[in-house]
Amino acid sequence: MLAIYVSDVDVLICFVNHSKEIKQLNQVVKTLNWVSSNQSFDHPTDTWLPGGKLGLNKNTRETQSLTSWRSLEDPAAGIFSLHLDPSGLTSQYIIKYNKSVQVWTSGEWNEQAKTFDLVPEMRSNYIYNFSYISNENESYFTYNLYNTSIISRFVMDISGQIKQYTWSFTTKRWNLFWSQPVNLCDVYGICGPFGNCNQDTLKCECLPGFIRRSPTDRDFQDPTGGCVQNISNSECGLIDWLQDTTNGCARNASLQCGSEDWFQSIPTSNLPDNPQSPQVNSAEECKLVCKGKCSCNAYAYRDSECWLWDGEILNVKQQSDGRAGDLYLKSAASRSSPIPNTEVRKRKAIIWKITIPLITLVAIIMGALGCIYLRKRNKAHERGRLKELQWVLTDLLKNKATYKDTPNTNTFNDGKTEEETQELQIFNIACLTIATNNFCLKNKLGEGGFGPVYK
Protein backbone atom coordinates (compact mmCIF):
# COMPACT_ATOMS: atom_id res chain seq x y z
CA MET A 1 0.00 0.00 0.00
CA LEU A 2 1.27 3.45 -0.95
CA ALA A 3 0.23 6.45 1.15
CA ILE A 4 0.27 10.00 -0.20
CA TYR A 5 -0.08 13.12 1.91
CA VAL A 6 -1.56 16.05 -0.03
CA SER A 7 -0.34 19.19 1.72
CA ASP A 8 -2.90 21.68 0.43
CA VAL A 9 -5.83 19.89 2.07
CA ASP A 10 -4.01 18.16 4.95
CA VAL A 11 -5.49 14.73 4.35
CA LEU A 12 -3.96 11.33 3.90
CA ILE A 13 -4.91 9.49 0.72
CA CYS A 14 -4.20 5.77 0.36
CA PHE A 15 -3.86 3.57 -2.71
CA VAL A 16 -4.26 -0.14 -2.12
CA ASN A 17 -2.34 -2.71 -4.22
CA HIS A 18 -0.87 -0.04 -6.49
CA SER A 19 1.99 -1.79 -8.27
CA LYS A 20 3.15 0.94 -10.65
CA GLU A 21 5.54 3.67 -9.70
CA ILE A 22 3.98 7.11 -9.35
CA LYS A 23 6.24 9.76 -10.85
CA GLN A 24 4.01 12.84 -11.00
CA LEU A 25 1.87 13.89 -8.04
CA ASN A 26 -0.19 16.28 -10.18
CA GLN A 27 -1.34 13.40 -12.33
CA VAL A 28 -2.38 11.51 -9.17
CA VAL A 29 -4.49 14.45 -7.99
CA LYS A 30 -6.15 14.73 -11.42
CA THR A 31 -6.90 11.02 -11.30
CA LEU A 32 -8.39 11.40 -7.83
CA ASN A 33 -10.61 14.24 -8.99
CA TRP A 34 -11.84 12.15 -11.91
CA VAL A 35 -12.53 9.15 -9.68
CA SER A 36 -14.35 11.34 -7.15
CA SER A 37 -16.63 12.76 -9.81
CA ASN A 38 -17.44 9.43 -11.44
CA GLN A 39 -17.50 5.98 -9.83
CA SER A 40 -15.67 6.12 -6.50
CA PHE A 41 -18.94 6.44 -4.55
CA ASP A 42 -20.79 3.55 -6.19
CA HIS A 43 -19.46 1.09 -3.61
CA PRO A 44 -18.69 2.88 -0.34
CA THR A 45 -17.11 0.97 2.56
CA ASP A 46 -17.50 2.46 6.03
CA THR A 47 -17.27 6.11 4.89
CA TRP A 48 -19.70 8.33 2.99
CA LEU A 49 -18.13 11.43 1.46
CA PRO A 50 -19.89 14.60 0.22
CA GLY A 51 -21.36 14.10 -3.23
CA GLY A 52 -21.72 10.35 -2.77
CA LYS A 53 -24.98 8.40 -2.81
CA LEU A 54 -26.51 5.94 -0.37
CA GLY A 55 -29.64 4.35 -1.67
CA LEU A 56 -31.48 1.64 -3.55
CA ASN A 57 -31.61 0.68 -7.22
CA LYS A 58 -35.28 -0.18 -7.71
CA ASN A 59 -34.60 -2.18 -10.86
CA THR A 60 -31.77 -4.41 -9.64
CA ARG A 61 -32.59 -4.12 -5.90
CA GLU A 62 -28.90 -3.40 -5.38
CA THR A 63 -28.19 -1.22 -2.37
CA GLN A 64 -25.44 1.22 -1.56
CA SER A 65 -24.72 0.87 2.14
CA LEU A 66 -22.04 1.55 4.72
CA THR A 67 -20.44 -1.33 6.63
CA SER A 68 -18.31 -0.88 9.73
CA TRP A 69 -14.81 -2.24 10.06
CA ARG A 70 -14.35 -5.43 12.05
CA SER A 71 -12.05 -3.61 14.49
CA LEU A 72 -9.92 -0.48 14.66
CA GLU A 73 -7.07 -2.36 13.01
CA ASP A 74 -9.02 -4.73 10.76
CA PRO A 75 -10.82 -3.15 7.76
CA ALA A 76 -12.71 -6.36 6.95
CA ALA A 77 -16.52 -6.13 7.02
CA GLY A 78 -17.84 -5.76 10.55
CA ILE A 79 -21.21 -6.49 12.12
CA PHE A 80 -22.94 -3.10 11.69
CA SER A 81 -24.26 -1.67 8.43
CA LEU A 82 -26.34 1.34 7.36
CA HIS A 83 -29.00 0.94 4.65
CA LEU A 84 -31.80 2.90 3.09
CA ASP A 85 -35.05 1.05 3.81
CA PRO A 86 -34.68 -1.98 1.47
CA SER A 87 -38.43 -2.18 0.96
CA GLY A 88 -38.33 1.15 -0.85
CA LEU A 89 -41.53 2.17 0.93
CA THR A 90 -40.01 4.70 3.32
CA SER A 91 -37.26 7.30 3.26
CA GLN A 92 -35.58 6.24 6.48
CA TYR A 93 -32.14 4.85 7.16
CA ILE A 94 -31.72 1.64 9.13
CA ILE A 95 -28.74 0.26 11.05
CA LYS A 96 -28.60 -3.54 10.92
CA TYR A 97 -26.75 -6.00 13.12
CA ASN A 98 -25.15 -8.81 11.09
CA LYS A 99 -27.16 -7.47 8.12
CA SER A 100 -30.30 -9.09 9.49
CA VAL A 101 -31.50 -7.51 12.74
CA GLN A 102 -32.78 -3.93 12.54
CA VAL A 103 -31.38 -2.09 15.58
CA TRP A 104 -31.88 1.62 14.80
CA THR A 105 -33.83 3.87 12.46
CA SER A 106 -33.42 7.52 11.53
CA GLY A 107 -37.15 8.08 11.18
CA GLU A 108 -38.78 9.44 8.04
CA TRP A 109 -37.14 12.19 6.02
CA ASN A 110 -38.81 15.60 6.42
CA GLU A 111 -38.29 17.34 3.09
CA GLN A 112 -39.42 20.72 4.36
CA ALA A 113 -37.16 20.74 7.43
CA LYS A 114 -34.37 18.81 5.66
CA THR A 115 -33.99 16.52 8.68
CA PHE A 116 -34.74 12.97 9.80
CA ASP A 117 -37.47 12.77 12.43
CA LEU A 118 -35.33 10.87 14.95
CA VAL A 119 -32.08 12.78 14.44
CA PRO A 120 -32.70 16.06 16.30
CA GLU A 121 -29.07 17.16 15.84
CA MET A 122 -29.81 17.90 12.18
CA ARG A 123 -32.18 20.73 13.15
CA SER A 124 -29.23 22.97 13.99
CA ASN A 125 -27.41 21.94 10.83
CA TYR A 126 -25.59 24.83 9.21
CA ILE A 127 -22.83 22.85 7.50
CA TYR A 128 -24.48 20.01 5.57
CA ASN A 129 -27.06 20.12 2.79
CA PHE A 130 -28.81 16.73 2.62
CA SER A 131 -31.08 15.83 -0.30
CA TYR A 132 -33.41 12.91 -0.97
CA ILE A 133 -34.07 11.84 -4.56
CA SER A 134 -36.67 9.25 -5.48
CA ASN A 135 -37.82 8.26 -8.97
CA GLU A 136 -38.90 5.14 -10.82
CA ASN A 137 -35.33 3.85 -11.06
CA GLU A 138 -33.75 4.65 -7.72
CA SER A 139 -34.07 6.22 -4.29
CA TYR A 140 -31.03 7.69 -2.58
CA PHE A 141 -29.65 10.34 -0.28
CA THR A 142 -26.74 12.60 -1.03
CA TYR A 143 -25.22 15.55 0.76
CA ASN A 144 -22.95 18.49 0.11
CA LEU A 145 -21.32 21.19 2.18
CA TYR A 146 -22.51 24.79 2.21
CA ASN A 147 -18.89 25.80 2.61
CA THR A 148 -16.81 23.78 0.16
CA SER A 149 -13.59 24.55 2.03
CA ILE A 150 -14.77 22.31 4.89
CA ILE A 151 -13.65 18.67 4.82
CA SER A 152 -16.17 16.18 6.16
CA ARG A 153 -16.93 12.47 6.27
CA PHE A 154 -19.85 10.32 7.42
CA VAL A 155 -18.83 7.00 9.04
CA MET A 156 -20.49 3.74 10.06
CA ASP A 157 -18.31 3.23 13.14
CA ILE A 158 -17.25 -0.07 14.73
CA SER A 159 -19.14 1.06 17.85
CA GLY A 160 -22.44 0.65 15.96
CA GLN A 161 -22.94 4.41 15.76
CA ILE A 162 -23.13 6.59 12.67
CA LYS A 163 -20.87 9.61 13.07
CA GLN A 164 -20.44 12.84 11.13
CA TYR A 165 -16.94 14.36 11.34
CA THR A 166 -15.39 17.63 10.20
CA TRP A 167 -11.65 18.26 9.86
CA SER A 168 -10.00 20.95 11.97
CA PHE A 169 -7.09 22.62 10.20
CA THR A 170 -6.07 24.16 13.51
CA THR A 171 -5.81 21.02 15.64
CA LYS A 172 -5.20 18.63 12.70
CA ARG A 173 -7.90 16.35 14.05
CA TRP A 174 -11.37 15.11 13.15
CA ASN A 175 -14.09 16.71 15.28
CA LEU A 176 -17.33 14.81 15.94
CA PHE A 177 -20.32 16.86 14.77
CA TRP A 178 -23.08 14.40 15.76
CA SER A 179 -23.65 10.68 16.29
CA GLN A 180 -26.55 8.24 16.62
CA PRO A 181 -27.45 6.37 18.79
CA VAL A 182 -26.12 8.84 21.36
CA ASN A 183 -25.80 6.37 24.27
CA LEU A 184 -23.36 3.56 23.49
CA CYS A 185 -25.32 1.15 25.68
CA ASP A 186 -28.26 1.65 23.30
CA VAL A 187 -26.23 0.11 20.46
CA TYR A 188 -27.46 -3.41 19.73
CA GLY A 189 -25.02 -6.12 20.85
CA ILE A 190 -22.40 -3.55 21.85
CA CYS A 191 -20.73 -5.92 24.34
CA GLY A 192 -21.21 -9.10 22.32
CA PRO A 193 -22.78 -12.40 23.43
CA PHE A 194 -23.09 -12.75 27.21
CA GLY A 195 -21.67 -9.26 27.61
CA ASN A 196 -23.27 -6.69 29.86
CA CYS A 197 -23.29 -2.93 29.28
CA ASN A 198 -23.28 -1.11 32.61
CA GLN A 199 -25.27 2.10 32.08
CA ASP A 200 -23.96 3.67 35.29
CA THR A 201 -20.30 3.39 34.26
CA LEU A 202 -20.62 2.93 30.45
CA LYS A 203 -18.36 -0.10 30.66
CA CYS A 204 -18.63 -3.57 29.16
CA GLU A 205 -18.46 -6.53 31.51
CA CYS A 206 -18.84 -10.26 31.14
CA LEU A 207 -21.84 -11.73 32.89
CA PRO A 208 -20.96 -13.66 36.09
CA GLY A 209 -19.54 -17.08 35.27
CA PHE A 210 -18.29 -15.96 31.83
CA ILE A 211 -14.87 -14.92 30.56
CA ARG A 212 -13.94 -12.74 27.63
CA ARG A 213 -13.29 -14.45 24.32
CA SER A 214 -9.89 -14.04 22.73
CA PRO A 215 -10.04 -11.48 19.90
CA THR A 216 -7.88 -13.76 17.74
CA ASP A 217 -9.55 -17.05 18.60
CA ARG A 218 -13.29 -16.54 18.36
CA ASP A 219 -14.24 -20.18 18.84
CA PHE A 220 -11.27 -21.32 20.95
CA GLN A 221 -10.11 -23.64 18.15
CA ASP A 222 -6.87 -21.90 17.24
CA PRO A 223 -4.12 -22.77 19.76
CA THR A 224 -2.11 -19.75 18.65
CA GLY A 225 -4.72 -17.58 20.31
CA GLY A 226 -3.07 -18.20 23.67
CA CYS A 227 -4.78 -18.11 27.03
CA VAL A 228 -8.21 -16.63 27.56
CA GLN A 229 -8.11 -13.81 30.07
CA ASN A 230 -10.58 -14.31 32.90
CA ILE A 231 -12.26 -10.94 33.47
CA SER A 232 -15.60 -12.21 34.70
CA ASN A 233 -15.34 -9.91 37.70
CA SER A 234 -13.59 -7.01 35.97
CA GLU A 235 -14.61 -4.43 33.43
CA CYS A 236 -13.16 -2.42 30.58
CA GLY A 237 -14.11 0.70 28.67
CA LEU A 238 -16.34 0.32 25.62
CA ILE A 239 -13.71 1.67 23.26
CA ASP A 240 -11.03 -0.69 24.62
CA TRP A 241 -13.51 -3.54 24.33
CA LEU A 242 -14.34 -2.65 20.72
CA GLN A 243 -10.68 -2.59 19.73
CA ASP A 244 -10.79 -6.35 20.23
CA THR A 245 -14.15 -6.55 18.36
CA THR A 246 -17.46 -7.54 19.86
CA ASN A 247 -16.52 -11.19 20.33
CA GLY A 248 -18.28 -11.10 23.66
CA CYS A 249 -17.83 -13.69 26.41
CA ALA A 250 -17.83 -17.45 26.87
CA ARG A 251 -18.51 -19.69 29.87
CA ASN A 252 -15.57 -20.47 32.12
CA ALA A 253 -17.18 -23.81 33.00
CA SER A 254 -19.38 -26.00 30.80
CA LEU A 255 -22.97 -26.73 31.72
CA GLN A 256 -23.92 -30.36 32.33
CA CYS A 257 -27.52 -30.83 31.25
CA GLY A 258 -29.55 -32.36 34.05
CA SER A 259 -26.94 -31.65 36.72
CA GLU A 260 -27.39 -29.42 39.72
CA ASP A 261 -26.83 -26.21 37.78
CA TRP A 262 -27.83 -23.11 39.70
CA PHE A 263 -29.09 -19.64 38.81
CA GLN A 264 -27.68 -16.29 39.79
CA SER A 265 -29.75 -13.12 39.60
CA ILE A 266 -28.64 -10.01 37.72
CA PRO A 267 -30.57 -6.74 38.15
CA THR A 268 -31.17 -5.23 34.71
CA SER A 269 -32.68 -2.06 33.29
CA ASN A 270 -33.92 -4.05 30.30
CA LEU A 271 -34.25 -7.72 29.47
CA PRO A 272 -32.57 -9.31 26.41
CA ASP A 273 -34.31 -9.62 23.05
CA ASN A 274 -36.12 -12.59 21.50
CA PRO A 275 -37.31 -14.55 24.54
CA GLN A 276 -39.57 -17.59 24.52
CA SER A 277 -42.69 -17.46 26.66
CA PRO A 278 -43.93 -20.85 27.96
CA GLN A 279 -47.16 -21.09 29.92
CA VAL A 280 -46.42 -21.55 33.63
CA ASN A 281 -48.16 -20.67 36.88
CA SER A 282 -45.29 -19.48 39.07
CA ALA A 283 -41.69 -18.31 39.15
CA GLU A 284 -40.60 -21.71 40.48
CA GLU A 285 -42.20 -23.47 37.49
CA CYS A 286 -40.44 -21.03 35.14
CA LYS A 287 -37.12 -21.87 36.81
CA LEU A 288 -37.73 -25.62 36.51
CA VAL A 289 -38.58 -25.31 32.80
CA CYS A 290 -35.29 -23.51 32.11
CA LYS A 291 -33.33 -25.91 34.30
CA GLY A 292 -34.73 -28.92 32.47
CA LYS A 293 -34.03 -27.43 29.04
CA CYS A 294 -30.41 -27.93 28.00
CA SER A 295 -30.37 -25.01 25.56
CA CYS A 296 -31.84 -22.53 28.07
CA ASN A 297 -29.24 -20.10 29.41
CA ALA A 298 -31.43 -17.72 31.40
CA TYR A 299 -34.97 -17.02 32.53
CA ALA A 300 -36.99 -14.17 33.99
CA TYR A 301 -40.41 -14.07 35.63
CA ARG A 302 -42.23 -10.76 35.59
CA ASP A 303 -45.88 -9.73 35.66
CA SER A 304 -46.91 -13.41 35.90
CA GLU A 305 -45.11 -14.17 32.63
CA CYS A 306 -42.19 -16.55 32.11
CA TRP A 307 -39.43 -15.71 29.63
CA LEU A 308 -36.65 -18.05 28.53
CA TRP A 309 -33.53 -17.36 26.48
CA ASP A 310 -31.80 -20.04 24.42
CA GLY A 311 -28.36 -19.74 22.87
CA GLU A 312 -26.38 -16.51 23.02
CA ILE A 313 -27.76 -13.64 25.07
CA LEU A 314 -27.39 -10.12 23.71
CA ASN A 315 -28.21 -6.63 24.96
CA VAL A 316 -28.09 -7.07 28.71
CA LYS A 317 -28.07 -3.60 30.24
CA GLN A 318 -27.32 -3.37 33.91
CA GLN A 319 -28.25 -0.42 36.10
CA SER A 320 -28.11 0.00 39.85
CA ASP A 321 -31.88 0.42 40.23
CA GLY A 322 -32.66 -2.66 38.09
CA ARG A 323 -35.97 -1.26 36.87
CA ALA A 324 -36.77 -4.16 34.53
CA GLY A 325 -36.30 -6.81 37.22
CA ASP A 326 -33.88 -9.68 37.62
CA LEU A 327 -32.46 -11.92 34.91
CA TYR A 328 -31.63 -15.38 36.28
CA LEU A 329 -28.55 -16.73 34.52
CA LYS A 330 -27.85 -20.47 34.48
CA SER A 331 -24.42 -21.27 35.93
CA ALA A 332 -22.42 -24.45 36.07
CA ALA A 333 -22.62 -26.54 39.25
CA SER A 334 -19.00 -26.14 40.27
CA ARG A 335 -17.46 -25.36 43.61
CA SER A 336 -14.99 -23.13 41.85
CA SER A 337 -17.72 -21.11 40.21
CA PRO A 338 -17.56 -17.60 41.57
CA ILE A 339 -20.56 -16.37 43.49
CA PRO A 340 -21.64 -13.16 41.80
CA ASN A 341 -21.54 -9.90 43.69
CA THR A 342 -25.28 -9.50 43.22
CA GLU A 343 -25.91 -12.87 44.90
CA VAL A 344 -23.59 -11.98 47.77
CA ARG A 345 -25.33 -8.65 48.21
CA LYS A 346 -28.72 -10.37 48.26
CA ARG A 347 -27.60 -12.86 50.90
CA LYS A 348 -26.15 -10.08 53.04
CA ALA A 349 -29.35 -8.10 52.66
CA ILE A 350 -31.42 -11.09 53.84
CA ILE A 351 -29.10 -11.60 56.83
CA TRP A 352 -29.36 -7.96 57.80
CA LYS A 353 -33.14 -7.98 57.37
CA ILE A 354 -33.31 -10.81 59.92
CA THR A 355 -30.52 -9.66 62.25
CA ILE A 356 -31.48 -6.00 62.72
CA PRO A 357 -35.08 -6.65 63.89
CA LEU A 358 -33.83 -9.47 66.15
CA ILE A 359 -31.19 -7.22 67.76
CA THR A 360 -33.79 -4.47 68.19
CA LEU A 361 -36.24 -6.88 69.84
CA VAL A 362 -33.58 -8.22 72.24
CA ALA A 363 -32.55 -4.65 73.16
CA ILE A 364 -36.18 -3.71 73.90
CA ILE A 365 -36.70 -6.82 76.07
CA MET A 366 -33.44 -6.24 77.97
CA GLY A 367 -34.34 -2.59 78.52
CA ALA A 368 -37.79 -3.51 79.83
CA LEU A 369 -36.34 -6.13 82.20
CA GLY A 370 -33.76 -3.61 83.42
CA CYS A 371 -36.46 -1.05 84.17
CA ILE A 372 -38.54 -3.62 86.08
CA TYR A 373 -35.49 -4.69 88.12
CA LEU A 374 -34.58 -1.10 89.02
CA ARG A 375 -38.15 -0.30 90.05
CA LYS A 376 -38.33 -3.38 92.29
CA ARG A 377 -34.96 -2.61 93.84
CA ASN A 378 -35.96 0.99 94.55
CA LYS A 379 -39.26 -0.12 96.09
CA ALA A 380 -37.49 -2.67 98.31
CA HIS A 381 -35.01 -0.03 99.40
CA GLU A 382 -37.82 2.40 100.14
CA ARG A 383 -39.68 -0.21 102.19
CA GLY A 384 -36.51 -0.86 104.17
CA ARG A 385 -36.10 2.83 104.96
CA LEU A 386 -39.74 3.11 106.05
CA LYS A 387 -39.43 0.08 108.36
CA GLU A 388 -36.26 1.49 109.83
CA LEU A 389 -37.88 4.86 110.42
CA GLN A 390 -40.93 3.20 111.93
CA TRP A 391 -38.73 1.25 114.33
CA VAL A 392 -36.88 4.40 115.43
CA LEU A 393 -40.07 6.33 116.00
CA THR A 394 -41.62 3.46 117.97
CA ASP A 395 -38.54 3.20 120.15
CA LEU A 396 -38.49 6.93 120.80
CA LEU A 397 -42.16 7.00 121.70
CA LYS A 398 -41.70 4.12 124.13
CA ASN A 399 -38.81 5.88 125.81
CA LYS A 400 -40.77 9.11 126.08
CA ALA A 401 -43.73 7.31 127.64
CA THR A 402 -41.44 5.64 130.16
CA TYR A 403 -39.98 8.93 131.25
CA LYS A 404 -43.39 10.52 131.55
CA ASP A 405 -44.68 7.67 133.73
CA THR A 406 -41.80 7.99 136.17
CA PRO A 407 -42.58 10.21 139.20
CA ASN A 408 -40.48 13.28 139.18
CA THR A 409 -40.79 13.85 142.97
CA ASN A 410 -38.05 11.40 143.78
CA THR A 411 -35.05 13.17 145.05
CA PHE A 412 -31.46 12.13 145.32
CA ASN A 413 -28.85 13.03 147.83
CA ASP A 414 -28.05 16.29 146.08
CA GLY A 415 -31.63 17.44 146.34
CA LYS A 416 -32.41 17.22 142.58
CA THR A 417 -35.28 15.31 141.10
CA GLU A 418 -34.78 12.25 138.86
CA GLU A 419 -36.02 14.17 135.84
CA GLU A 420 -33.41 16.83 136.47
CA THR A 421 -30.65 14.27 136.75
CA GLN A 422 -31.44 12.46 133.39
CA GLU A 423 -28.33 12.25 131.18
CA LEU A 424 -30.45 11.63 127.98
CA GLN A 425 -32.43 14.58 126.71
CA ILE A 426 -35.76 13.81 125.05
CA PHE A 427 -36.65 15.45 121.67
CA ASN A 428 -39.93 15.45 119.79
CA ILE A 429 -40.26 13.86 116.31
CA ALA A 430 -40.37 17.20 114.46
CA CYS A 431 -36.98 18.20 115.84
CA LEU A 432 -35.47 14.83 114.97
CA THR A 433 -36.84 14.98 111.43
CA ILE A 434 -35.32 18.40 110.83
CA ALA A 435 -32.01 17.50 112.48
CA THR A 436 -31.50 14.32 110.40
CA ASN A 437 -32.89 15.74 107.15
CA ASN A 438 -35.86 13.40 107.26
CA PHE A 439 -33.63 10.57 108.48
CA CYS A 440 -31.49 10.77 105.33
CA LEU A 441 -29.05 7.91 104.87
CA LYS A 442 -26.24 10.41 104.31
CA ASN A 443 -26.62 11.49 107.94
CA LYS A 444 -26.61 7.93 109.27
CA LEU A 445 -23.46 7.12 111.26
CA GLY A 446 -24.17 3.45 111.82
CA GLU A 447 -26.12 1.01 113.92
CA GLY A 448 -25.69 -0.31 117.42
CA GLY A 449 -27.53 -2.34 119.95
CA PHE A 450 -30.08 0.45 120.39
CA GLY A 451 -30.73 0.95 116.67
CA PRO A 452 -29.47 3.40 114.00
CA VAL A 453 -27.43 6.43 114.96
CA TYR A 454 -27.73 9.74 113.05
CA LYS A 455 -25.62 12.84 113.28
Across 138-152, 243-257, 361-375, least confident range: 243-257
The pLDDT assigned to 330 comes to: 87
**Range list of H helices, 277-340:** 283-292
Mean pLDDT of the chain: 74
Task: Find the mean pLDDT for residues 86-105.
Answer: 87
Task: Look at residue 27 and tell me whether its pLDDT is greater than 60.
Answer: no
Across 6-20, 290-304, 354-368, least confident range: 6-20
The pLDDT assigned to 115 comes to: 86
Where do the domains of the chain lie? 1-37, 41-181, 195-339, 345-398+423-454
Task: Look at residue 124 and tell me whether its pLDDT is greater than 70.
Answer: no
> Which fold, 41-181?
Agglutinin, subunit A (2.90.10)
The pLDDT assigned to 231 comes to: 37
338 in Cβ contact with 232 (< 8 Å):
yes
The pLDDT assigned to 170 comes to: 93
The pLDDT assigned to 350 comes to: 82
- Alpha-carbon torsion angle 320, 325, 330, 334, nearest 10: 50
**Single pTM value for the model:** 0.54
Beta bridge partners of 451: 448
Across 92-101, 165-174, 207-216, least confident range: 207-216
55 in Cβ contact with 162 (< 8 Å):
no
pLDDT band per the 50, 70, 90 thresholds, residue 420: low
